[in-house]
Amino acid sequence: MPDDSEAPGKSDLARTVDLLWGIEAPRGTRGPRPGLSVEAITRAALEIADAEGIAALSMQKVAKLLGYTTMSIYNYVPGKEQLIELMLDAATPPPPVPAEGEDWRVSLERWAAATWELYRLHPWSLKVPTANPPLGPNQLAWFEAALAAIARSGLSGGDVMALGLYVLASVRGQAGLVLDLTGTRDATAPEFAEQMRRIVDSARFPVLHGITMAAPEQAYGTAAIQMDLDFGLRRLMDGVERYVERRVG
């Protein structure tokens, strides 16, 4: 567990940054264990979260997977909060690289699509509360790519940051909704459609009735949800582009 006698005055946030950037060395008094490292612990935690979800993650389970005691894990990572930050950064690959002369909107669209793919690969990350801005090198590089695309539009300063956060929050929100709706959704779509036929009448819900009754099973399946996501991302980019046109001309 964390040792309050070490690095007096250093905050938990500062210790997290040290871990993410490789500044803080392991705190064990007996020296490093063969095969045990911050990277190995992070990989094991990712394996658990990807397979079972973030709720299944614990320091004890990570230690068991690696074949060490829980106290050995604490010698490298002081707590679960820091471990999750390490996981988020390790799960983030290098960002998409824009082609030579690529339009800023194309770059931002590719970034948004790649961000959605990250959430699809690691859905547990959507269950992690956003307590701080990105702190790790990989996450910062990922966000920098979005800001760089927006900056090429001619915007600057606060506008670039505000739009970057807006696009990230929008993609995260849409991804969370889509991933919540998928999974067992295809299996339940026929039953859901049947119940909709019972309760959605054309007099009370004319628009909803017209949309859902045309092909109700397809309207609630995974394919339709993915189409909705793609549509939403395009409209999001439309809005960003219109804002740029008004600000930059």
For the segment 4-13, what is each residue's pLDDT rounded down to a tens digit?
444 456 788 8
| CA dist., res. 29 & res. 112, Å (int) | 45
Closest to 96 in 3D by CA, of 79, 80, 113, 119 = 113
Do residues 123 and 180 lie in contact, with contact meaning Cβ atoms separated by under 8 Å? Answer: no
pLDDT at res. 113: 92
| CA dist., res. 146 & res. 46, Å (int) | 25
Do residues 175 and 126 lie in contact, with contact meaning Cβ atoms separated by under 8 Å? Answer: yes
Rg of the chain, C-alpha, whole Å:
23
Do residues 193 and 219 lie in contact, with contact meaning Cβ atoms separated by under 8 Å? Answer: yes
DSSP state for residue 105 in the 8-state scheme = H
Q: Is the pLDDT of residue 217 over 60?
A: no
Q: What is the pTM of this model?
A: 0.84
CATH 1.10.10.60 is the classification of domain 12-90: yes
**Domain 104-248, CATH:** 1.10.357.10
Across the range 209-233, mean pLDDT stands at 71
Per the rule left: phi > 0, alpha: psi between -120 and 50, beta: everything else, 103 is beta
Closest to 34 in 3D by CA, of 91, 6, 86, 72 = 72
Across the range 90-113, mean pLDDT stands at 96
Do residues 98 and 68 lie in contact, with contact meaning Cβ atoms separated by under 8 Å? Answer: no
pLDDT at res. 2: 44
Closest to 153 in 3D by CA, of 107, 96, 94, 95 = 107
Q: Where are the domains positioned within the chain? A: 12-90, 104-248
Do residues 16 and 28 lie in contact, with contact meaning Cβ atoms separated by under 8 Å? Answer: no
Contacts of 115 (CB under 8 A, 6+ apart): 142, 168, 171, 172, 175
Q: Is the pLDDT of residue 233 over 90?
A: no
What are 11-55's pLDDT values in tens digits? 888 889 999 999 866 555 455 566 799 999 999 999 999 999 999
Which range has the top average pLDDT, 126-130, 147-151, 216-220? 147-151
What are 141-175's pLDDT values in tens digits? 999 999 999 999 999 889 999 999 999 999 999 88
pLDDT at res. 5: 41
pLDDT at res. 4: 42
CA distances from 31 to 16, 18, 20, 72, 132 (A): 21, 19, 20, 11, 32
Across the range 62-73, mean pLDDT stands at 96
pLDDT at res. 27: 59
CB burial string 169-208: b at 16+ within 10 A, e below = ebbbebbeebbebeeebeeebeebbeebeeebeeeeeeee
Contacts of 184 (CB under 8 A, 6+ apart): none
